[in-house]
Amino acid sequence: MPHPPALTSTLALSVLFLFLLSSTSQAHNITRILAKHPELSSFNHYLTLTHLATEINRRQTITVLAIDNAAMSSLLSKGLSVYTIKNVLSLHVLVDYFGAKKLHQITHGTTLASSMFQATGAAAGTSGYVNITNLKGGKVGFGAEDNDGKLNSFYVKSVQEMPYNISVLQISQVLTSAEAEAPTAGPSQLNLTAILSKQGCKAFADLLISSGADTTFETNIDGGLTVFCPTDAVINGFLPKYKNLTTSQKVSLLLYHGIPVYQSLQMLKSNNGLVNTLATDKANKFDFTVQNDGEIVSLETEVVTAKITGTLIDEEPLVIYKVNKVLQPTELFKVKTASAPKEVAEGPDDSADAPGSDDSEDQTADSDKNGVAGLDGGRLGMVVLSLCAGVLLM
Ligand SMILES: *[C@@H]1O[C@H](CO)[C@@H](O)[C@H](O)[C@H]1NC(C)=O
Ligand SMILES: *[C@@H]1O[C@H](CO)[C@@H](O)[C@H](O)[C@H]1NC(C)=O
Ligand SMILES: *[C@@H]1O[C@H](CO)[C@@H](O)[C@H](O)[C@H]1NC(C)=O
Ligand SMILES: *[C@@H]1O[C@H](CO)[C@@H](O)[C@H](O)[C@H]1NC(C)=O
Ligand SMILES: *[C@@H]1O[C@H](CO)[C@@H](O)[C@H](O)[C@H]1NC(C)=O
């Protein structure tokens, strides 16, 4: 079985990636804000461990209800899995801005605020909403909507406010919610090949299983994994070429369709540049270029340009996209030489979404486009994304 080859060799690049990430336009960093408050260190640690910190930093307008180390220990003493803890903590992240002042000036003295737990879709009905109510004597009570009207936590103090980007408020207790505390399947319990098979990527899943590449994908889920699956029609059209490959080339080709880091569509859209894949074993081997044009995200090898045509699942740390071409690395396939530049207005390529055998024909045309036009901007805003699985967990 192949090992995740990207893990060790790209650590240095990971540091570069983190540097570049931090230098992009992030308005706030919850980890840094909380680090100034040792009494909130356990809460801070779990925001990182559950990847909620990344999610919080990405949001434009957000309120974090922090709890101190004593309140965190009472949560941790329940022995919940880290995925359940993630649900509980995501209930403490409100997708609206509440500074201390606004808290005390709520219209009619009570409101329901939507939380990130609600936004994940994990919460049913109205659970995932947080009831905020002004009480006698200037107290403000907080309670999960599914807590029978009990407001079990109270406003303590404002930790930091950056209107209207992020507000961090301390509350006295963890919000009690049966729904958030319900056992939840962790991503590593997700069956990758089953998800693929059920949603139009059965042929790709079958290749993963028959080659043994599925284990490399699965062991990377916990640390963050992005998968690009060519749809069934695309794989079927490609099979003659695939069968020509040796066993280890087959594995490399399949591993080339995964990157060992979680990349939401938003992240892909805002980061043009080279990415390392699960097949990468040295710098600049088996990488490809992410290239955006408005809403369209393309993946460019020098052999082929594929487009993302849909999302199968997006649950950090795992995201799976559908693509309309098999990604062919230059290490295994001949680079298409650019023919004479065509004066063609490259309109939106509708054939991209069309199922059927014309997908494989289409590759030739698209490769030409790649050779002529695709490289100009692609290598400019170059960002090397190569985050190994462990880095986010450290
Ligand atoms: C946020 O701050 C922490 C602690 O200072 C740092 O380790 C981390 O890299 C920062 N994250 C980003 C995305 O800048
Ligand atoms: C919030 O909870 C309080 C106490 O149970 C209740 O009186 C109030 O109506 C609730 N607010 C909303 C907006 O549901
Ligand atoms: C909020 O974020 C924007 C950029 O997204 C920044 O220009 C602004 O200064 C931030 N506000 C505060 C109070 O930090
Ligand atoms: C995942 O699902 C496939 C069917 O797609 C099944 O053959 C396989 O045994 C399952 N793996 C696990 C670990 O449950
Ligand atoms: C398979 O390899 C043979 C020998 O290299 C070559 O002639 C043939 O065109 C290849 N078939 C495909 C579909 O690439």
Quick one: 370 and 240 in the same domain?
yes
Q: Is the CB of 347 under 6 A from ligand 5?
A: no
Report the domain count for the chain. 2
Q: Is 19 inside a domain boundary?
A: no
Give the pair of three-digit tokens for residue 109: 């003295």
Residue 115 CA to ligand 1 centre (angstroms)? 23
Quick one: 164 and 247 in the same domain?
no
What Å distances lie between residue 214 and 1, 202, 245, 288, CA to CA?
10, 13, 18, 21
Quick one: 200 and 147 in the same domain?
no
Give the contacts of 198 (CB within 8 A, at least 6 positions apart): none
Long-range residue pairs from 358-366, CB within 8 A, at least 24 positions apart, any chain: 359/233, 359/234, 359/237, 359/324, 359/325, 360/234, 360/237, 360/238, 362/324, 362/325, 363/304, 363/325, 364/336, 366/304, 366/305, 366/325
Q: Is 206 inside a domain boundary?
A: yes
Final residue belonging to a domain, choices 171, 204, 224: 171
Query: CA-CA distance, 280 to 252, in Å (whole number)?
Result: 9
Quick one: 132 and 204 in the same domain?
no
CA quadruple 249, 251, 253, 255: dihedral positive or negative? negative
Determine which residue's CA is closest to atom 14 belonging to ligand 5: 241
Q: Is 10 inside a domain boundary?
A: no
Q: Is the CB of 24 under 6 A from ligand 5?
A: no
Which residue is it, tokens 């060790």? 8
- Which structural domain range is residue 101 located in? 25-171
Q: Is 85 inside a domain boundary?
A: yes
**pLDDT, one tens digit for every residue, the chain (394 residues):** 444 444 444 444 443 344 334 334 567 999 999 999 999 999 999 999 988 998 899 888 999 999 999 999 999 999 898 889 999 999 999 999 999 999 988 988 999 999 999 876 666 677 789 999 999 888 999 999 999 999 999 999 999 999 999 999 999 999 999 999 988 766 667 789 999 998 899 999 999 999 999 999 998 888 789 999 999 999 999 999 999 999 999 999 999 999 999 898 888 988 888 999 999 887 778 999 999 887 889 999 999 999 999 988 888 788 999 999 999 999 999 887 655 343 333 333 333 333 333 333 333 333 333 332 222 233 322 333 333 333 333 3
Query: CA-CA distance, 62 to 41, in Å (whole number)?
Result: 20
Q: Is the CB of 240 under 6 A from ligand 5?
A: yes
**Which atom of ligand 3 approaches the CA of 163 most closely?**
13
What Å distances lie between residue 281 and 20, 66, 72, 273, 386, CA to CA?
22, 41, 40, 18, 12
Which residue is it, tokens 């590449």? 213
Residue 228 CA to ligand 4 centre (angstroms)? 19
CATH number reported for the structural domain that contains residue 358 in this entry: 2.30.180.10
Determine which residue's CA is closest to atom 9 belonging to ligand 2: 110
Determine which residue's CA is closest to atom 7 belonging to ligand 2: 149
Quick one: 38 and 152 in the same domain?
yes
Determine which residue's CA is closest to atom 6 belonging to ligand 2: 149
Quick one: 57 and 163 in the same domain?
yes
How does DSSP assign 142-154, residue by residue? EEETTSTT---EE
